[in-house]
């Protein structure tokens, strides 16, 4: 690979992956589409985005910094939930499902506290 091709490949990779994790308020662009819901709770919030039949969710901690147990999931009615779970410093997700015109259920949890949407976007 030539130096020019290597530079192009590195630039493309950086554009796809991003420069690194920023603060919790800097999550715009994580999910495609437009924001259709925000589900707040005591330790953070779940943001819900929709575009062309796909629903994407991301969980954002109110106080980022220290690693804590986080999970976020989205389930289209009639399908299994898709989940991101682990110990993160500021966000879990994004998680995306193809919902079409079906309702979805969204859950988010940080250190045992959380929110569940019930069936939404029907």
Give me the pLDDT at residue 28, please: 58
Q: Where are the domains of the chain?
A: 24-120
* 74 contacts 105 by C-beta, under 8 angstroms: yes
Confidence band of 27 (pLDDT split at 50, 70, 90): low
State yes or no: pLDDT of 15 exceeds 70.
no
State yes or no: pLDDT of 13 exceeds 60.
no
SS3 sequence of the chain: CCHHHHHHHHHHHHHHHCCCCCCCCCCCCCCCCEEEEEEEECCEEEEEEEECCEEEEEEEECCCCCCEEEEEEEEECCCCCEEEEEEECCEEEEEEEECCCCCEEEEEEECCEEEEEEEECC
* 103 contacts 85 by C-beta, under 8 angstroms: no
With CA atoms as reference, report the closest residue to 90 among 38, 40, 45, 55.
Answer: 45
Give me the pLDDT at residue 68, please: 97
Could you tell me the CA-to-CA distances from 94 to 4, 11, 28, 71 in Å, in that order? 33, 23, 11, 11
State yes or no: pLDDT of 96 exceeds 50.
yes
- Mean pLDDT check: name the lowest of 22-26, 29-33, 54-58, 103-107: 22-26
Name the pTM for this structure. 0.76
> Is the pLDDT higher at 98 or at 9?
98
Architecture per CATH, domain 24-120, reads as Sandwich (2.60)
């Amino acid at each position: 690979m030539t130096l020019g091709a290597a530079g192009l490949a590195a630039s493309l990779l950086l554009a796809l992956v991003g420069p690194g994790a920023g603060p919790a308020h800097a999550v715009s662009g994580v999910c495609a589409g437009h924001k259709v819901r925000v589900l707040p709770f005591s330790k953070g919030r779940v943001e819900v985005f929709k575009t062309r039949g796909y629903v994407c969710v991301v969980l954002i901690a109110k106080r980022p910094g220290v690693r804590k147990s986080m999970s976020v999931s989205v389930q289209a009615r009639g399908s299994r939930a898709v989940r991101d779970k682990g110990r993160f410093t500021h966000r879990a997700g994004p998680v995306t499902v193809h919902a079409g015109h079906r309702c979805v259920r969204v859950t988010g949890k940080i250190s045992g506290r959380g929110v569940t949407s019930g069936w939404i976007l029907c």
